Amino acid sequence: MDNYNNLSASEKAQAAELQRMIAVEQQKAQFQAQVHNFTDICWDKCMDRPSSKLDYRTETCLVSCVERFIDTTLTITNRFSQMVQKGAH
Amino acid sequence: MEGFGSDFSAGGSGDKLDANTIMEQVKVQIAVANAQELLKRVTDKCFKKCISRPGNSLDNSEQKCLAMCMDRYMDTWNTVSKTYNSRLQKERSHM
């Protein structure tokens, strides 16, 4: 963004700093949105009946669920990009 | 009711852009949106888990189930968040 011709140098610096801080918050929000999605998916995979404590088995399942979901995303993405590069359908 | 947009001038020094005030508001708005998202998803998941056949009112066992379900959903959220965060760090160190 360089639409700030009417601003002084210090105001421009302030605007740039503000943009940087907002980008950081945006990244945090994106992280949280992703956690919401993973939680949704892995809750369905791993949780039977909610009990009074999160048991060890469920917790292990949740950790694996997140890791394998990310692996799946990477695998599919790679395969898809190969497919696109080859021009195959 | 204050006018629309009054949020963007509150607390600032006159008409000058106050970065700290803006950032506070950005953070609050993100936190509120996050809480709303969580609330929506917990309600959805726990309704499915705990209310198998809706009756005339929420009975005692359903209310107990909902309470536990909500607590476990929070635990799940935290476990997922930790796992995802450490995975991100691992991936970054490999780049």
Q: Which amino acid is at B78?
A: N
Does B81 map to a domain?
yes
Contact B84, A30 (CB under 8 A): no
Domains of chain A are 9-86 (1.10.287.810)
- Is the reported ipTM for this assembly greater than 0.95? no
Q: Which of B26, B8, B86 is nearest to A26 (CA)?
A: B26
DSSP 8-state assignment for residue B9? T
Q: Do A35 and B69 touch (CB under 8 A)?
A: no
Number of structural domains, chain B?
Answer: 1
Q: State the CATH number of the domain containing residue B58.
A: 1.10.287.810
Does B6 map to a domain?
no
Q: Which domain holds residue B78?
A: 18-93
**Does A74 reach chain B within 8 Å, measured CB to CB?**
no
B-chain residues near A25 (CB < 8 A): 23, 26-27, 30
Per DSSP, the residues of A13-33 read HHHHHHHHHHHHHHHHHHHHH
List the pLDDT tens digit at each of the 89 positions of chain A.
Answer: 556 678 888 888 888 888 999 999 999 999 999 999 999 999 999 999 999 999 999 999 999 999 999 999 999 999 999 999 998 65
Please tell me which of the candidates B50, B68, B84 has its beta carbon nearest to residue A38.
B84
Contact A47, B85 (CB under 8 A): no
- The residue behind tokens 């000058």 is B16
